[in-house]
Structure 1
Amino acid sequence: MVANIRSGSSPGGALRYNKEKVDKDEAEVLFWQKMLEPFDKHGRMDIDACMDSFRPYFEANRRTTNTVFHVLLNPSPEDKLTGEQLRETAKEYMERMGYGDQPYIVFKHNDISREHLHIVSLRVDEQGRKLPHDFEARRSMEILRDLERKYGLHPSVKGEEQADKVGLHRVNYREGNVKQQISSVVRSCLRNYKCSSYGEFCTLLELFNVSVEERTGTIDGRNYAGSVSGSDRRRLRHRHAIQVESYRKGCRL
């Protein structure tokens, strides 16, 4: 099992992305904890209700910038887990990571060949205290190895885990090589997700600190049509152009 941990300033982006998947029957709400009913009277996922559950927590601490804890849990393709097994795995993972008493919502996705989980929570508690996250990646890896042994799951392939870590992480302009970071995120998103619209693809990229804007114009007398993408950390301080080729049966750049 591989975990990909992300953070952000608001859970809205992660919730919207998961709602789009739920609305298209490519995902479902597996369970939630310490939250209001996340559905409206018509049985549709209600982002406002989810935000109302989170709001008292991040309003209690306005100093912390990255208040969101968003993790993807990817079992091995060889593991076919039941809904109950996925629930128990997600619950134990969150407890051992220190988020057992936090509000969180778990989504099961089936938009790629293997089912995987998205968990959205917060890094601050109801008193506004920031939860400790020292050595978070290392602790996460150790917990997953324990869960694999406990539930008899196939161990993660080292190369696959490294590829996931390199390809799918939030762009950080302070690390440099922004163009390379963005390109890696775009390629990994296209490889691991199926987007059926331009808007959905943009929403997905926002989870990795990348924004996309459509651009048309003329360069050296030649017309072009494409997109400009960049890291939205602070202001869009670094950008590069990516030509849009097709969005048929999933967005491809």
Structure 2
Amino acid sequence: MQNSVQLRTVSFILGSIFLSSCSSNYQLVKSNRAEYAVTKDVAADSSIIRTYQPYKLKLDSQMNEVLGYSENELTKKIVGGESSLGNFFSDAALFEARKTDPQIDFTMPSTNGGLRNDLPLGAITLSNVFELMPFENELIVFEIKGIEVESLLNYIARTGGQPVSGLTMKIIAGKPADVMISGQSFDRTKNYHVLTSDYIAGGGDGISSFKDPISSKVLGLKIRDALIKYIKESKEKGKKISSKLDGRMTNDKS
């Protein structure tokens, strides 16, 4: 026992000496700075290209996968408070989320600023969806009071319309009017289950309607994955994506 303690003590001392010998007291006394312009005139480094080329080819093959097809171009252009891209985006998110939570009343999964790229007419690739939704935002269902829903409606009206599904409304003089949620008139005294993103729920774009929810449920579903599933399922059913303006949001200023 005593020998074992002695051995451990010697090992500790030797280790301490080794570590102290590895340390240095070097200090920076001078540094030089230079700028190297990276322009089209800089010759490509073939060794670097050879290093990343196999990974690029693999990534390109994945990103070029055709998920489905669209009957029309889906654009961010807002007409009367809605856009064809916003309608598709919201419908797809709500459809996929309701598979997990059928109680969802309506959704605002993104603001107009979160829709980053149009979707083309014809083939829709995985790359197209990543360009539309490059973020890792999660879908969350919140049960909130009618007064909080009213604040969200006021935000939508004040900003001239936002991507929604399960909700229709008119914007008159910058205020919400004739609001229908899941086919029923909006009732300020009721609680509603609202699907949105973790970005919006966290106060993104100045939205505060989800700060004090009655309950919340993380679905474990990213918005981008919901879009991918929706497009793929449409293709498997032999259907093309067809999202048009349908009057779910009208604005008297348009």
* TM norm structure 1: 0.24
Q: Bigger radius of gyration, 1 or 2?
A: 2
Q: Taking CA–CA contacts closer than 8 Å with sequence separation of 6 or more, which of the two structures ends up with the larger relative contact order?
A: 2
* TM norm structure 2: 0.24
